[in-house]
Copies of this chain bind each other. A is one copy, B any other.
Amino acid sequence: MKLSHVHGFLALGVQVAFFILFCAFVRYHPDAHARYHPLVNGSELENELDHYKSDDPWIHSKSYPMFQDVHVMIFIGFGFLMMFLKRYGLSAVGLNFMIAALCLQWAILVNGFFHLKKGTIVVDLNAMLGADFTAAAVLISFGVLLGKTTPTQLIVLALMEIPLFAVNEVIGRSYFGAIDMGDSMFVHVFGAYFGLAVSLMLHRRDASTEKEGSSYQSDLFAMIGTVFLWLYWPSFNAGAAPGDDQHRGIINTYISLAACCLTTFALSTLLDKHKKFDMVHVQNSTLAGGVAVGTAADLMIHPWGAALIGILAALVSVCGYMFLTPLLASRLRIHDTCGVHNLHGLPGILAAIIGAVAAGVASEASYGLSLYEIFPARAPLEDSLELQKLQEVLPDLEGGSGISGTSQALYQLLALLVTLVIAIAGGIVTGIVLRLKPLALLKTEELYEDEKWWIMEAEEDEGHKGSVTIPMADNGAR
């Protein structure tokens, strides 16, 4: 068996394994089960998906349209944004498609494993939304490695990253009580540093080639991804929040993104020696405001806070592209194709710090009783008098740990720290695996090159290869 065949067998084997695991463990959530009939159960169309509510407190309420927004971000957003490389468009959108489809299934299994219900994994709208979020982490890591890995390596990476992702999220959310509505720590920071650590392990001197750049057309395609990501980011940051938290999450993300976009354009031209705009910044740094506001998206950061976050995110991101990415590549031997560090890494750390500060200053004065729902760890202890008093107004409130705002802030930073440690350690281990001989195959000329992986027109009719220079749009193929 030639090694270049491996990914076909591997993908098929993985899919069959998923099928077997689905047979063994995965069931419909009661809300999606035919035996659940609203009239029989005394409710009235309660679980319609466009505004899905459940008795299950784990689920709160979810909106199918917001799920679809996130879904578009994963497949159109990431897939087309990564099309910016001039000879790697088919791979960008194609491999993104394959890997994300794999991640959705693997994430349902792995995430579900951490939230077993009577020994089974249940699927519902919430599980699908969670699977899409999880896929985002893997695709962020993919962005670091874009053009430098084989499909086989990507499949192995996805299989290894998702369990680590799930463990880290459970530690952060359940053990530390950290909140992170837009998943800036658990998705963005995790995915970015995991990918950077893998990249360190896969270091090669020839990673920067002439093909690493964009073309006019590829830059236009990439903008499809950028703009859809930018538009639907509020749904990403607030899709899992209830009521006014969701409303606030939408507003904060909207304002932060708008401020970030304008600031990015300003800085891009100001920092260029010819005072021109740089598509790299426009495609990426405009989105940093969505990442940077993520952890605090549902907190009372106020509209001005959101605007400030957007400005800072643009500053961090544009400067990262200008000064840090070259340094990372030359000094630390970490090559980062998409500049993920500047879009997800640094802005994610910024988000975590902002989240810690916002959590630290949160008080009943500004949040009212919602404080204890937004920060469950700050709710009084079970069976305490304070809790009983609160339960008179909020009957569903559960007992927490009664911690202070400062403690909450420290737990937030602890969650960031643990995320960094697990992501980097996990990335190093994964990178070592990906370096194993059967997986590491690419020659220099195969970097950032579709032809290695895709049937191209020219190959089909080699006969009149000469004549195909009628240069139709297909320049990418030679």
- Take A258-B104, A259-B15 as given contacts and tell me if A275 and B5 are in contact as well, using a CB distance cutoff of 8 Å: yes
Q: Given the known A-B contacts A75-B230, A366-B34, A368-B34, are A456 and B476 also in contact in the complex, defined by CB atoms under 8 Å?
A: yes
Across the interface, do B45 and A61 meet the contact criterion of CB distance under 8 Å?
Answer: yes
Answer yes or no: A166 CB below 8 A from chain B CBs.
no
- A247 located at the interface, meaning its Cβ lies under 8 Å from any Cβ of chain B in the complex: yes
A217 touches B215 (CB 8 A): no
Among A441-478, those with CB < 8 Å from B are 450-461, 464-465, 468-478
Q: Shortest distance in angstroms between A382's beta carbon and chain B's nearest beta carbon?
A: 20
The docked-state distance in angstroms from the alpha carbon of A242 to that of B47 is 9
Contact call A216/B94, Cβ cutoff below 8 A: no
State how many angstroms separate the Cβ of A251 from the closest Cβ of chain B.
5
Contact of A262 among B11, B48, B277, B455 (CB under 8 A): B11
User: Is A398 located at the chain interface by the 8 A CB criterion?
Assistant: no
Contact A472 B275 (CB under 8 A): no
Query: Are B51 and A259 in contact, CB atoms less than 8 angstroms apart?
Result: no
Do B22 and A307 touch (CB < 8 A)?
yes
Does A114 sit at the interface, judged by CB under 8 A?
no
Interface size on A, as a range, is 35 or more
Query: What per-residue 1/0 map shows which CB atoms of A347-384 lie under 8 Å from chain B?
Result: 00000000000000000001111110110000000000
Q: Evaluate contact between B47 and A65: CB separation under 8 angstroms.
A: no
Query: Is A251 a contact partner of B32 (Cβ separation < 8 A)?
Result: yes
Known contacts A219-B90, A374-B34; A255 and B125 CB within 8 A of each other: no
Asked whether, in the complex, the Cβ of A251 is within 8 Å of the Cβ of B28, the reply is yes
A254 engages B128 (CB within 8 Å):
yes
Identical chains in the assembly: 3
In chain B, what residue has the closest Cβ to A265?
A: B98
User: Do A474 and B476 touch (CB < 8 A)?
Assistant: no
* A433 → B minimal CB distance (Å): 21
Q: In the complex, are the beta carbons of B48 and A243 less than 8 A apart?
A: yes
Given the complex of chains A and B, what is the CA–CA distance between A355 and B343 in angstroms? 46
Q: Which of A181-236 contact B (CB under 8 A)?
A: 210, 213-221, 223-224, 227-228, 230-232, 235
* Chain B residues, CB < 8 A from A101: 257-259, 261-262, 286
State whether B393 touches A39 (Cβ < 8 A).
Answer: yes
Q: Which residues of B contact A270 (CB under 8 A)?
A: 5, 8-9, 12
Which residues on B sit within 8 Å (CB–CB) of A48? 51, 61, 63, 242-243, 246
Cα of A94 to Cα of B223 in the assembled complex, Å: 8
- How many Å from the CB of A239 to the closest CB on chain B? 10
Docked complex Cα distance between A282 and B79 (Å): 14
B474 in contact with A232 (CB, 8 Å): no
Task: Give, as a whole number of angstroms, the nearest-CB distance from A309 to chain B.
Answer: 10
Interface-lining segment among A298-306, A327-335, A412-420 = A298-306
Minimum C-beta distance from A21 to chain B (A): 9
- 20 A-B pairs (CB sep. < 8 Å): A11-B269, A14-B262, A18-B259, A28-B251, A32-B251, A34-B244, A34-B370, A35-B368, A50-B51, A76-B228, A94-B223, A105-B307, A214-B457, A216-B473, A450-B476, A468-B477, A469-B471, A470-B471, A471-B475, A474-B475
Apart from A9-B270, A32-B244, A458-B478, 6 more pairs, CB < 8 Å? A7-B269, A49-B63, A101-B257, A105-B262, A471-B474, A472-B475
